[in-house]
Amino acid sequence: MFNETVLKEIDEIKAKYPDRKSALLPSLYVAQREFGWLSHEAMECVSKALNVPEAHVRGTASFYAMYKHRPVGRNLIQLCTNVSCMILGAEKLVDFLGTRYGVQPNGTSQDSRFSLVIMECIGACGTAPAMLVNTDFYDNLSEKRIEEILEKYK
């Protein structure tokens, strides 16, 4: 079960909507933050806190790409390869992440330092290629710049 502080946070979320079910998406984010990913237990907590059937919680969560359905590395790299990024070399950066850090799309490096997810446009097409590392945003990427950026993420 969630602790008191988290339950209070979820109560505040619920208060923003006319019905409790609408608090599901934001509550899943809270659960993901608390558990690191949406484990069975995490979703059970959400189900209890909102009094929404677990099957509904699971079904809904599975629809959305930003929920983590398995444990991920310490840092999550979300790199865009959609057209504006692709034509400015994003695919080479995917290869680079593989050779330099041993992380493949939808995978995690052996040392659990990085997980990689390929994104569909993160709204930085004018400064492509771009990525999010956890919730930090980076654009105008090159191999060199990625190396400098990832230094910070241990």
Partner 1 sequence: MDIMEKFLLRNIENPNSADINEYVKAGGYKNLSKALARDPKDILEELKKSGLRGRGGAGFPTAMKWSFAKADPKFPKYLLCNADEGEPGTFKDRPILEKNPHLLIEGMAISGYILGAEYGYIYLRGEYPAANDILNAAIKQAYEANYLGDNVNGKGVKFHLAVHQGAGAYICGEETALIESIEGKKGQPRNKPPFPVNVGAWNMPTIVNNVETLSNLPLIIEIGAEAYANIGSKECPGPKLFCISGHVNKPGVYELPMGTSLKDIIYIHAGGMRNGSKLKAVIPGGISTPVLPADSIDCAMDFVAMPKAGSMLGSGAVIVMDDSVCMVKVAYRALKFFEHESCGKCVPCREGTDWLRKVLERIENGNGKEGDIELLTDIAGIMLGKTFCPLGDGAAGVVMGMIKHFRNEFEEHIKNSRCNFS
Q: DSSP characters for 71-107?
A: ---SEEEEEE-SHHHHTTTHHHHHHHHHHHH---BT-
Six token digits for residue 106 = 């939808």
What is the rounded CA–CA span in Å between residue 141 and residue 154?
Answer: 19
Six token digits for residue 86 = 């692709």
Q: Which amino acid is at 142?
A: S
Length of the chain (residues): 154
Say whether residue 72 binds partner 1 (CB under 8 A): no
Say whether residue 133 binds ligand FES (CB under 6 A): no
The strand pairing partners of 114, in sequence order, are: 75
Yes or no: say if 79 and 70 are a contact pair by the CB < 8 Å rule. Answer: no
With CA atoms as reference, report the closest residue to 77 among 110, 108, 99, 111. 108
At its nearest, how many Å lie between partner 1 and the CB of residue 126?
4
Q: Which is nearer to partner 1, 78 or 109 (CB)?
A: 78
At its nearest, how many Å lie between partner 1 and the CB of residue 63?
4
What is the rounded CA–CA span in Å between residue 16 and residue 23?
Answer: 8
Q: Within positions 89 to 118, which residues make up the interface with partner 1, using CB under 8 A? A: none
Q: Within positions 74 to 93, which residues make up the interface with ligand FES, using CB under 6 A? A: 80, 82-85
Say whether residue 55 binds partner 1 (CB under 8 A): no
Q: Which is nearer to partner 1, 42 or 124 (CB)?
A: 124
Task: Please tell me whether residue 114 adopts helix, strand or coil conformation.
Answer: strand
Say whether residue 124 binds ligand FES (CB under 6 A): yes
Q: Which is nearer to partner 1, 56 or 100 (CB)?
A: 56
Q: Which is nearer to partner 1, 1 or 65 (CB)?
A: 65
Say whether residue 87 binds partner 1 (CB under 8 A): yes
Binding site for partner 1 (CB under 8 A): 16, 18-19, 21-26, 28-29, 52, 56, 59-60, 63-67, 78, 81-84, 86-88, 119-128, 132, 135, 137
Binding site for ligand FES (CB under 6 A): 80, 82-85, 121-125, 128, 130
